[in-house]
């Protein structure tokens, strides 16, 4: 089994990944607050952790990985948007959630196993808060419930700060009801216009951090494997998640490995509305930049480094993908062929590609390996290339490779080629069974002349187009 190594923010080391339960590898990633279109920076964690999800599925099996990414649908930014626009909160969150999923799908991301909405887990949050009050980690004051940071000795360990440093360095909200200025809100009162739920502390709504602790607990258990998110969430959000979960379950660890992706730059500068370089994923898609192009640009930089989006990289990625799709198209790749390779055991990862990718998601190294494999002239190299592209989520549609490559393709579509080759293989099988060796050889020569590589393993013949593949030779056998 390929060994996965991941940089753990918590220990500041690259560690060998050993799942708590290999039959159910569990990952939680903080998702969007739904009040507006996802901007380019929001797309980075979605892509980074989608690649990790795919890698885990590859290694542990598609049915043995649970990936949870939440949707924050109760937040003061949403309330502000509703007040601004006069629209219903539920309409805003439903519309924005649909936008988010549509845009993330366009970038080649698989849907996570679970996408819990915060408002669906209010009871779990209230229960966790009640437990924290009972165990002395939280207190009620002035209609609020606050987490007492001094009650948790490891507070600040993830981001490497002490409580005193935080107070000195951060602009903390000083409120008269807080015992320590760093104490954070888990529950706050709602007025009549704000969304609210009944609770032991009156009608109110949750603070942001408690939702992730409660939903991760409910869907993944007290201890799970990986927790991910952008590095802007490390403090205070993740620090607070850890404090809540660790104090709610003193014998558990919450996540074994914490991973953080770095931020996005645009042409070397921080993306910001005031610099005029702020854009959403939808802006780019609407300008005709394909989702897979955006994805390849993102993956060309390691997740632990700032990713600089530039127009030069965009156009290079477009060229690379066209070339790569062209290679696969020329060799007859289509959905059916991939299915066939899968059913015949020919759909295997290139070991070097997988090893590079498994080393802390070295996507740029994996892409370099794809450049080598694309020049390969053997069926396994090409299958490894196709498999690698698929594992990075870079093939939007196996049946549109010709279109995507910009290749004009007429009657010699891959569909009939597969039919002819499979019929010939069947006839060859029958000839062999009847010991008609001359006929079996004649058919083999036809396939050789067409550049079709045939392998006979365990009595079953499988085939793949070779480097000299020429469908025209098969034309008269249609």
Residues that bind Zn ion (CB under 5 A): 30, 212
Residue 61 Cβ, how far from Zn ion at the closest point, in Å?
27
Is the Cβ of residue 241 or residue 360 nearer to Zn ion in the bound state? 241
- φ/ψ of 363, rounded to 5, equals -70, -35
Residue 222 Cβ, how far from Zn ion at the closest point, in Å?
16
Q: CB neighbours (10 Å) of residue 143?
A: 15
Is the Cβ of residue 30 or residue 474 nearer to Zn ion in the bound state? 30
- Picking from 76, 193, 206, 218, the residue whose alpha carbon sits closest to that of residue 147 is 206
Residue 172 Cβ, how far from Zn ion at the closest point, in Å?
20
Is the Cβ of residue 30 or residue 392 nearer to Zn ion in the bound state? 30
CA atoms 267, 271, 272, 273: torsion sign: positive
Is the Cβ of residue 249 or residue 282 nearer to Zn ion in the bound state? 249
Residue 272 Cβ, how far from Zn ion at the closest point, in Å?
23
Residue 453 Cβ, how far from Zn ion at the closest point, in Å?
49
Is the Cβ of residue 146 or residue 212 nearer to Zn ion in the bound state? 212
Is the Cβ of residue 68 or residue 266 nearer to Zn ion in the bound state? 68
- SS3 letters across 294-362: HHHHHHCCCCCCCEEECHHHHHHHHHHHHHHHHHHHHCCCCHHHHHHHHHCCCCCCCHHHHHHHHECCC
**Two tokens, residue 201:** 């502390």
Is the Cβ of residue 212 or residue 341 nearer to Zn ion in the bound state? 212
Residue 90 Cβ, how far from Zn ion at the closest point, in Å?
22
Residue 99 Cβ, how far from Zn ion at the closest point, in Å?
20
């Amino acid at each position: 089994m390929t060994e996965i190594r991941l940089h753990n923010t918590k220990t500041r080391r690259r560690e060998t990944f050993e799942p708590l339960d290999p039959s159910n590898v569990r990952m939680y990633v903080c998702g969007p607050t739904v009040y507006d279109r996802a901007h380019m920076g929001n797309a980075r964690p979605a892509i980074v952790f989608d690649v990790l999800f795919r890698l885990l599925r590859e290694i542990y099996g598609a049915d043995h990985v649970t990936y949870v990414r939440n949707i924050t649908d109760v937040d003061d930014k949403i309330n502000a948007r509703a007040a601004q626009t006069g629209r219903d909160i539920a309409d805003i969150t439903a519309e924005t959630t649909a936008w988010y999923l549509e845009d993330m799908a366009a970038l080649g991301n698989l849907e996570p196993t679970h996408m819990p909405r915060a408002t669906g887990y209010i009871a779990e949050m209230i229960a966790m808060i009640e437990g924290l009050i009972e165990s002395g980690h939280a207190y009620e004051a002035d209609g609020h419930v606050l987490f007492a940071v001094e009650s948790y000795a490891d507070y600040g360990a993830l981001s490497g700060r002490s409580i005193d440093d935080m107070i000195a360095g951060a602009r903390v909200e000083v409120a008269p009801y807080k015992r320590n200025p760093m104490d954070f809100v888990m529950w706050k009162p709602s007025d009549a216009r704000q969304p609210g739920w009944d609770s032991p502390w009156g009608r109110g709504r949750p603070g942001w951090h408690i939702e992730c602790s409660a939903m991760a607990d409910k869907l993944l258990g007290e201890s799970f494997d990986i927790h991910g998110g952008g590095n802007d969430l490390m403090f205070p959000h993740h620090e607070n998640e850890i404090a809540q979960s660790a104090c709610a379950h003193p014998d558990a660890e919450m996540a074994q490995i914490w991973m953080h992706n770095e931020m996005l730059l645009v042409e070397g500068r921080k993306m910001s509305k005031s610099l005029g370089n702020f854009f959403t994923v939808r802006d780019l898609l609407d300008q005709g930049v394909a989702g897979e192009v955006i994805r390849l640009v993102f993956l060309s930089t390691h997740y632990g480094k700032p990713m600089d989006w530039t127009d030069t990289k965009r156009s290079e990625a477009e060229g690379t993908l066209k070339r790569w799709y062209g290679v696969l198209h020329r060799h007859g790749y289509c959905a059916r062929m991939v299915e066939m390779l899968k059913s015949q055991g020919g759909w295997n990862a290139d070991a070097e590609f997988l090893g590079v990718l498994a080393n802390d998601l070295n996507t740029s190294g994996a892409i370099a390996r794809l450049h080598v494999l694309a020049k390969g002239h053997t069926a396994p190299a090409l299958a490894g290339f196709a498999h690698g592209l698929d594992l990075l989520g870079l093939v939007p549609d196996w049946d549109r490779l010709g279109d995507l490559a910009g290749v004009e393709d007429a009657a010699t579509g891959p569909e009939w080629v597969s039919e002819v080759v499979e019929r010939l293989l069947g006839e060859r099988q029958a000839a062999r069974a009847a010991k008609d060796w001359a006929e079996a050889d004649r058919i083999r020569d036809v396939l050789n002349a067409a550049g079709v590589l045939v392998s006979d393993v365990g009595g079953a013949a499988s085939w793949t187009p070779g480097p000299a593949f020429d469908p025209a030779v098969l034309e008269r056998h249609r």
